[in-house]
Structure formats: structure tokens, C-alpha cells
Structure 1
Amino acid sequence: MAHDHAAAGHAHDHTAGANARMLGWALALTSIYLVAEVVGGIVFNSLALLSDAAHMMTDVAALVIALLALKLGGKAPDDKRTFGYRRFEILAAAFNAVLLFGIAIYVFVEAIRRFSDPQEIQSWGMMIVAAIGLLVNIVSMRLLTAGKEASFNVKGAYLEVWADMIGSVGVIAGAVLIRLTGWTWIDPVVAVAIGLWVLPRTWILLRDTTNVLLEGVPANLRLNDVRAAIAAVPGVAGLHDLHVWSMANDDVSCTVHVTLDAGAEADAARRGVTAMLAARFGIGHVTVQTEAAGEPCGDGQTTHP
């Protein structure tokens, strides 16, 4: 049995290493193109390219977050950080969201200015840069395809890159229209459209990361449902001091004080609560403290399914 466990560990390490390499290549490609797109937006005077660069930044952030999760997520807790280092992933995502809001504000203000004061756009350069971006997205998606089913973080990065292809296609379409019609106002329209596409996902990212940092109840859980399920476990007469939170999106913890029925065994009640929370709500780390009715809190024990 020990040999099988070690083999499984080696397989996990191999998979994580392969995912990290693919993420690293995708990050390098996307980062290089991000710089090229910013330079292209300035040189060719295209607000649409700059807006798409902001969207490309979400790809870079998603890839960095995925790499952080792989590199730091498995790092063991120590005497200073007893919960480990998984919050780095959440902090990076929150910083990314705040930065994107700032960029979006700049794009919208600049777009309004350009509507009233149209500027010359070098559509050919705009089209070429966007076409290169589309190619980079396709290559990055190809690199991430193999690991997206084995890792939630890789899958998240894959979906970010896929979504960015829409921005690249929009810029290309805008460049073609400007070339054919000479209507330079199309550039700020495309820029605003890309910004409106990015902002809802940015808001969701900021909302979810803030909830994790505030140790709020994960979005997929309802505290009343958890409370009712614990109360229904045999041997449980009541409960209080219920807390459910997460260190990261896929790491949910729960602590609760349980009052026992008369004659109920504390160990059996703890095991029942732990097993139910794991099976029904996917909560993997549970601390249950038991006490008899009318008595002060007893000793708590941490149990794992």
C-alpha cells in the first residue's frame, strides 16, 4: 500500500511538472505579445489595440495565478504561515482585478475624447498586430489543452485565453472596416466593446477574491443549508458558532460547536458531521467541538474524511 501511495505521488508530481512547463511557455508567449500589443497600440494610434492589451493582461494574470497555485499551493505550512501559501493565488487575482478596473476607466475616458476628436488610425499595422495576437492565442490554447482536464487552474487559464480570441477577432474586424470605409470612430467603438466584455468578468473576479479574503461563505454554499444538514445528523441536538470559509476556491473549511443529544456519543457525532459535510458539501477540513446540553463548550477535535 505504501508503494502504491508513493507511485501516486510521483505521478502527481509529474503531472504538475508538465502543467507548469506548458503554463510557462504559454505565459512567455502571451507576455511577449502583451508588450508588442501595447507598443503597437501606441505606434499605430489604436485605442482598440490598447483595450485588447488590457484584455490580454487578464490572460497573463490567469497564467501567473495558475503557476502560483502549482508552485506555492503545495508548499507545506510552517511556523509563520500555518495555513500555507495558497492565499498568494487570491491576492494575485485581486490585484489583477483592481488593475483592470483602472485600465478600463482610462480606455473609456480616451474613447469619449476620440469620439469628439477623431484621430488617424494606421489600420494595416493595427490588423497585423491583432492577427499576431490571434495566432498567439491559438498556440497558447494548444499548449494548455493537455492539462485543462487535470487541473482547475489550467482550465481557468485555458478559458481566459479562449475568451481573449474574441478581442483579437474584434480588433481585426475593426481594422478591416476602417481600411474599407475610413471611419476612424470604429476604433474607439471596438475599444469600448472590448472593455464592456472584460469588465463583467473583472467584477466577478474581484467579488469572489474579496469574499475569500474576508473569509466569507463560498458562493456555491448556503450557510442555512449547512446548518440544517448538521442539525439533522444523529446525536446532534443543536449547534452554534458555525463558520464556513475557504483559503482558495477549491479548499473549503468548517468549524462548528455541536450540542449533543442525551446519551449520544461525542466521537460518533463528530464522525457523522464530518462524513456528511464531505459527502454533501465537499468540505474537506472540518473541526467539530462537542458539548452536552447546558454545559460549557467541551474539547474540540479536528477530523478529516
Structure 2
Amino acid sequence: MASTDKASKNIKLAFIINLVFSIGEFIGGFLINSVAIMSDAIHDLGDALALGLSWFLQKFSNKKPDHNFTFGYNRFSLLGALINATILIIGSVYIFTQAIPLLFEPEHSNAQGMIWFAIFGVLLNGFAAFRLHKGKSVNEGVLSWHLLEDVLGWIAVLVVGIVLLFKDIHILDPILSIAIALFILVNVFRNLVKTMKILLGAVPDGIDIDEVKQKIEGIEEVISVQNLYVWSIDGEDNAMNLHLIVEEMNLKDSTIVKQKVKKVTSKLDIKHSTIELESKKHN
């Protein structure tokens, strides 16, 4: 619960920073007559809305289990990660549509205005991205790429702004924009695959089912493992369902066997486990 509370606070902070900064971009872009800054303001406002949605879903995921969701609401944070990955992909495609035409007809920009906004953009988004990057939830991971995209974008704006103070090479802006969009798409795809694997009930990364099965069958009282299911609930906590064939035993001995199984699987971050024992006589 502590990690989800921290995740919620991190996302809330990133949401506030993005929202305030995007409003500042609209005002600044209008004052310095910069279409590039105004376009980035629209992009950052979209990020802010995505962050707000994720904050809501992250807080919602902290709800305790009930009759409707017996495992709890943890997976609602995954829904936020999925939505944000989709928004980030759409945003990257939008960057392509804006940047590619500028390769052929570069626009002149206000270099000094670009530099000042870039400095603020790097500092604010960099701080928020750092906070989210340290988080453990999948949602925080996807959102950190949201903000990293903005940081890299503002670094590109800063570099281009400095160059434009001395050289009239306006094609640098669209070239850097395309490179950043490609970089972000690759990393978002990785996070999207991770999120989808969790939603589809895949075995968590780092867990070898055959190895786990072999260790459980190494327990003296266990004859064989009939069924073994391991999946992740939200990317942090795992669950296990296990059906074992064992020697004939009383209730006390069966409790000891279950304790041995839990000891074997203790390093798998399993928070919920169901262990069914069946005597070989009734198998």
C-alpha cells in the first residue's frame, strides 16, 4: 500500500507541473509569437490530461478488495499505463506529421524565446521524470517516458535555439524532433508489451516455471505438481495457484507442506497463493 501511495503522490506532482507549465507555454508562445512553442503547449497539455487520468486511476487502485474485485483494484493502474502508452504513441505520430513537412520548408523561430522556455522545460519536466522513474509501478514507468519525451524535446529546442543564435540552420528542429519521436516509440513499445503481458496473465519476468516446479517436487512429501499457475496482478505483486499430489497425511502435516511450498516460492514476490493438496490415494 505504501508503494501505491507514493506512486499516487509522484503522479500528482507530475500532473501539477505539466498542467502549470503547459498554461505558461500558451501564454509565452503567444507573447513571443512562436508557433513551435504553441504546438508544444498543446502536446504538454495532452500529457497533463494523461497524467491527471493516471493519478485518478492510481488512487483508485489503492481501494481494498470487495465483492466486485476480490483481488483489489490494483490493475486499474495498469489501465492508466495502457491509456498513457496509447496517448504517447499518438503524440509521437503527431510529431512526425509536423516535423516531416518542415524538413522541406523549415520555419524561422525566435531563438532567445526558445532558449528560455527550453531551460524551464528541462528543469521542470526533468524533476518530475526523475521522481516517476524511481517509482516501481508500471504506470509510473510509462509516465516517466511521457516526461522524458518532453525533457528530450526541450533539450533539442535548447540546442537548436543556441545554434540559431549563430547559424541559420532551421532544419535542425524537425530532424531532432523525428529522432526523439523514434526513440520514445521504441521505449513506449517495450512498456506497452510489459503492460499487455500482465493484462493477459503471462508468467512474470524472471520466473522460470520449470525451475519452480522442480523445487516444489523436491519437497519430501510432494509426489508431483499437477497444476502450477503464476501471474502478476499489477506488475509488482504476483499470485500463484498450485495443485499438488502428496502422500496420505493429516491436517497438521498438510499445513507444514504448505509452509514448505511458500518458503520455496518466497522469493517470487507472491502476495496471494492458493495451494490445493490431493492425496495420491484419491488421485
- TM-score relative to the length of structure 1: 0.74
Aligned AA (1:115) = L
Alignment partner of 2:223: what SS?
A: strand
Residue 79 of structure 1 corresponds to 67
- Given the alignment of the two structures, is residue 222 of structure 1 paired with residue 212 of structure 2, yes or no? no
Aligned-residue identity in percent: 23
Q: Which runs of 5+ in 2 are unaligned?
A: none
Which of these residues, 166, 170, 178, is aligned with residue 192 of structure 1?
178
Following TM superposition, by how much is the alpha carbon of 1:284 offset from its aligned partner in structure 2, in angstroms? 2.2
Deviations 1:274-303 (A, max 9, x none): 22111x32222111111123634xxxxxxx
Which of these residues, 222, 225, 232, is aligned with residue 239 of structure 1?
225
Q: 1:240 to 1:37 in 2, by over 3 A?
A: farther
Alignment partner of 1:257: what SS?
A: strand
Residue 288 of structure 1 corresponds to 275
Which of these residues, 34, 40, 46, is aligned with residue 44 of structure 1?
34
Following TM superposition, by how much is the alpha carbon of 1:19 offset from its aligned partner in structure 2, in angstroms? 7.4
CA distance in 2: counterparts of 1:176 and 1:219, whole angstroms:
44
Following TM superposition, by how much is the alpha carbon of 1:152 offset from its aligned partner in structure 2, in angstroms? 3.0
Pairing 1:294-305 to 2, within 5 Å after superposition: 295-296=282-283
CA distance in 2: counterparts of 1:163 and 1:110, whole angstroms:
16
Following TM superposition, by how much is the alpha carbon of 1:63 offset from its aligned partner in structure 2, in angstroms? 7.7
- Given the alignment of the two structures, is residue 258 of structure 1 paired with residue 252 of structure 2, yes or no? no
- Given the alignment of the two structures, is residue 269 of structure 1 paired with residue 257 of structure 2, yes or no? yes
Alignment partner of 2:282: what SS?
A: coil
Following TM superposition, by how much is the alpha carbon of 1:36 offset from its aligned partner in structure 2, in angstroms? 4.5
Q: 1:191 to 1:138 in 2, by over 3 A?
A: closer
Following TM superposition, by how much is the alpha carbon of 1:253 offset from its aligned partner in structure 2, in angstroms? 0.2
Residue 113 of structure 1 corresponds to 101
Residue 248 of structure 1 corresponds to 234
CA root-mean-square deviation: 3.8
Following TM superposition, by how much is the alpha carbon of 1:98 offset from its aligned partner in structure 2, in angstroms? 1.4
Following TM superposition, by how much is the alpha carbon of 1:131 offset from its aligned partner in structure 2, in angstroms? 2.0
Say whether the 8 Å CA contact 1:51–1:191 is kept in structure 2: no
Say whether the 8 Å CA contact 1:174–1:186 is kept in structure 2: yes
Residue 210 of structure 1 corresponds to 196
CA distance in 2: counterparts of 1:53 and 1:201, whole angstroms:
18
- Given the alignment of the two structures, is residue 126 of structure 1 paired with residue 110 of structure 2, yes or no? no
Which of these residues, 130, 147, 152, is aligned with residue 136 of structure 2?
152
CA distance in 2: counterparts of 1:220 and 1:164, whole angstroms:
31
Q: 1:96 to 1:138 in 2, by over 3 A?
A: closer
CA distance in 2: counterparts of 1:158 and 1:109, whole angstroms:
23
